[in-house]
């Protein structure tokens, strides 16, 4: 349970919502596809909602759906929605720290490691959800048509 699978789950969720198009999906249905618990899904959907990527309808027939088409959602936006902290922690020192070199090294390290993280984020910002879905379509080959995704998966697992 060590690694961080939240981003994988979040993109998985967004992808499913994209397939379902305007039909809202329940956290229960999504959780089955993701092999996890509805509450875990709701926690993630809550963050996506907070970032304006998703809109949620409560009550009977409710569920979540995307606010935009997948071409207009980048993986970077999904990553940001999760509010992860900095990838690398660079503790800074107080003025009284005995080693003068250390006090200068740390801000430099913070800059460099921040840049490294930015490279990763930049890559994610250049990949749209639609691109990911297209890759999935390619892997699926021709076994499914366009609309059979939601019919074949989301509908199945919601019953």
Q: What is the binding site for DNA (CB under 7 A)?
A: 1-6, 9, 25-28, 35-40, 42-43, 45-46, 49, 56-64, 84-85, 89
By CB under 8 A, residue 119 contacts a copy of itself? yes
Around Cβ 11, how many Cβ atoms within 10 Å? 18
Per-residue mark of binding to a copy of itself, 86-105 (x: CB under 8 A): xxxxxx-x---xxxxxx-xx
| 109 binds, options a copy of itself, DNA, none, Cβ within 5 to 8 A by partner type | a copy of itself
Closer of 53 and 64 to DNA (Cβ): 64
The nearest distance, CB 54 to a copy of itself, in angstroms, is: 17
Judge contact between 41 and 30, C-beta under 8 A: yes
CA separation for the pair 70, 21 (Å, rounded): 10
Q: Which pair of structure tokens corresponds to residue 107? A: 């801000």
Judge contact between 22 and 65, C-beta under 8 A: yes
Closer of 22 and 101 to a copy of itself (Cβ): 101
Residues contacting 140, CB < 8 A, separation 6+:
none
The nearest distance, CB 28 to DNA, in angstroms, is: 5
């Amino acid at each position: 349970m060590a690694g961080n699978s939240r981003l994988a789950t979040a993109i998985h969720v967004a992808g499913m919502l994209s397939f379902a198009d305007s039909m809202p999906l329940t956290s229960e249905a999504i959780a089955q596809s993701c092999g996890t618990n509805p509450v875990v899904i709701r926690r993630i959907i809550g963050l996506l909602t907070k970032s304006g990527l998703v809109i949620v309808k409560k009550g009977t027939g409710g569920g979540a759906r995307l606010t935009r088409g997948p071409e207009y959602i980048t993986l970077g936006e999904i990553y940001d929605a999760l509010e992860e902290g900095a990838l690398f922690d660079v503790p800074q020192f107080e003025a009284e720290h005995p080693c003068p070199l250390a006090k200068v090294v740390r801000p430099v390290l913070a800059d460099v490691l921040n840049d490294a993280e930015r490279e990763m984020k930049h890559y994610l910002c250049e990949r749209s959800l639609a691109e990911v879905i297209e890759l999935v379509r390619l892997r699926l080959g021709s076994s499914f048509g366009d609309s059979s995704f939601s019919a074949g998966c989301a509908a199945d697992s919601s019953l």
